[in-house]
Amino acid sequence: MYNLKNIIFFVIKFSAYGLAVAFLFLLISNNHSLIDTSLPPFFKTNHQSFNNAVESTAPAVVNVYASKVYQEKGHSVFRDPMFKQFFEDLPQLTKTRRNNSIGSGVIMNKDGYILTNAHVIENAQNIGVTLNSGEQLQADLIGLDIDTDLAVIKINLKNPPIIPIGDSSRLKIGDIVLAIGNPYNFGQTVTQGIVSATGRKRRGISFFDDFIQTDADINQGHSGGALVNIYGELIGINTAIVSSSGGSEGIGLATPINQAMNVMNEIINNGKVVRGWLGIEAQSLNLKFEDQKNTTPINGVLITATIRNGPAENAGIIPGDIILSINENITSSPERIIDMITKLKPGTKVKIKILRGWEERDLTAAILQRPAVRFLR
């Protein structure tokens, strides 16, 4: 009898537990407010699709077509000196040739100014633009800057689509980015990748190398197109690729938009970018001068060459000198000197402290306008 009571009690007890759990389950299922079913912030942004970013930027990315017509004097054999010796009076035949290039561009403001790459439209006699909508327009060249491989062209269009501008200084390695352009004249194409590196330098692509590196596919025709973040903001102008095959191999380079905007504004306001120039070749230096008691580091820039009749040579700077400071600002690298000097207007005089042997000297240089430097691609 005792065992029977225990069994009955056990059944009633667990039946009650079961009913309580069932009641609680029904209560929760009918009132979701009792628990937080929301997704973490990362998932709320719906990173599985970047459609919103594309829709806000793609209309402002255009296809750019440039053509150049030139005259070529006959076959190369007719230009041979030996041939000319015997056929001096033979009339020179000329042939008209047309060279076409394709690229991309980005509409930057309501006035119809478009940023693109200088190598896309340089020496072009005719520039055409095709909008995302398919509309075709003629474009005028406002100016270009060989040093950064950037150019500004302009279209006449009422209420053009404008791309939102981001801040390239806030980019982090690993950020997701989208490249939008017209590869191989295939039509507007969007590719996805990440920021592989920032501040890429010394690639021989432009003098002011400071590129965003990405593994988003960038191919011929992407030049001048947009590199955007997942929020639909322009953070770079696609400029070049590092490739052994001529096609994308996962190393694409874009000019940061902060730098590109400065260049664009200079071109719009002045028709060109004017930079200061010192006329030196230099390399970083970090020597230690040892005396009897102390070891004192010397931070400066070693001058390896000066340009004939350039500001540095005229100021008395010679190869082997070490520049310690310019206008009392320490010069720790060649890039630092370039950054300081290029911001100065031609004619500006600067005070330069150098170390020659172990003797410090103070010199004065008059800054000149920097000549354009052309790079092979």
pLDDT of 37 reads 45
- Locate tokens 């240089």: which residue? 365
Would you say 322 and 285 are in contact if contact means Cβ atoms under 8 Å apart? yes
In a domain? residue 329 = yes
Same domain, 253 and 187: yes
End-of-domain residue from the set 228, 258, 288: 258
Same domain, 245 and 282: no
In a domain? residue 320 = yes
In a domain? residue 76 = yes
Quick one: residue 25, left, alpha or beta (phi over 0 = left, psi -120 to 50 = alpha)?
alpha
Report the DSSP beta bridge partners of residue 150. 117, 145
Residues with a catalytic annotation lie at: 119, 149, 223
Same domain, 309 and 237: no
Query: For residue 69, which phi and psi values (nearest 5 degrees)?
Result: -105, 130
Same domain, 116 and 66: yes
Same domain, 245 and 280: no
Q: Give the distance, in angstroms, between the CA of residue 236 and the centroid of all CA atoms in the same chain.
A: 5
End-of-domain residue from the set 154, 180, 206: 154
In a domain? residue 7 = no
Would you say 132 and 114 are in contact if contact means Cβ atoms under 8 Å apart? no
Per-residue pLDDT at 38 exceeds 90: no
Same domain, 64 and 149: yes
Q: Which of 59-68, 237-246, 290-299 has the lowest mean pLDDT?
A: 290-299
| Separation of alpha carbons 313 and 366, rounded Å | 11
Q: How many domains does the chain have?
A: 3
| Separation of alpha carbons 203 and 223, rounded Å | 16
| Separation of alpha carbons 213 and 62, rounded Å | 22
In a domain? residue 271 = no
> Which are the contacts of 215, defined by CB distance < 8 A and separation ≥ 6?
193, 194, 196, 250, 251, 252
Same domain, 118 and 150: yes
Same domain, 174 and 139: no
**Farthest CA pair distance, the chain:** 136
Same domain, 87 and 126: yes
CATH number where 356 lies: 2.30.42.10
In a domain? residue 324 = yes
| Separation of alpha carbons 158 and 87, rounded Å | 59
pLDDT of 330 reads 86
pLDDT of 375 reads 44
Quick one: residue 245, left, alpha or beta (phi over 0 = left, psi -120 to 50 = alpha)?
alpha
Q: What is the three-class DSSP state of 13?
A: helix
Same domain, 225 and 287: no
pLDDT of 35 reads 43
293 pLDDT band, cuts 50/70/90, is very low
Q: Give the distance, in angstroms, between the CA of residue 346 and the centroid of all CA atoms in the same chain.
A: 26
| Separation of alpha carbons 188 and 226, rounded Å | 11
Per-residue pLDDT at 310 exceeds 90: yes
Give the chain's count of helices (H) and strands (E): 8, 21
> Which are the contacts of 51, defined by CB distance < 8 A and separation ≥ 6?
none
End-of-domain residue from the set 258, 285, 303: 258
Would you say 299 and 332 are in contact if contact means Cβ atoms under 8 Å apart? yes
Which one of 181-195, 283-297, 363-377 scores highest in mean pLDDT? 181-195
- Report the sign of the C-alpha dihedral through residues 268, 273, 165, 224, in that order: positive
In a domain? residue 74 = yes
- Report the sign of the C-alpha dihedral through residues 340, 342, 345, 350, in that order: positive
CATH number where 220 lies: 2.40.10.10
SS (H, E, C) 270-321: HCCCCCEECCEEEEEEEEEEECCCCEEEEEEEEEEEECCCCHHHHHCCCCCC
Q: Which residue range is the domain that position 190 belongs to?
A: 168-258
Report the DSSP beta bridge partners of residue 192. 178
pLDDT digits (tens, 9 = 90+) for 316-350: 999 999 999 999 998 888 888 888 898 898 999 99
Q: Give the distance, in angstroms, between the CA of residue 49 and the centroid of all CA atoms in the same chain.
A: 25
Cα distances from 289 to residues 125, 286, 298, 301, in angstroms, run 58, 10, 7, 15
| Separation of alpha carbons 232 and 190, rounded Å | 13
> Which are the contacts of 1, defined by CB distance < 8 A and separation ≥ 6?
none
Core vs surface per residue 136-170: b (16+ CB within 10 A) or e? eeebebbbbbbbbbbbbbbbeeeebbbbebbebee
Same domain, 234 and 287: no
Average pLDDT value over all residues in the chain? 81
Report if pTM > 0.85: no
In a domain? residue 22 = no
75 pLDDT band, cuts 50/70/90, is low
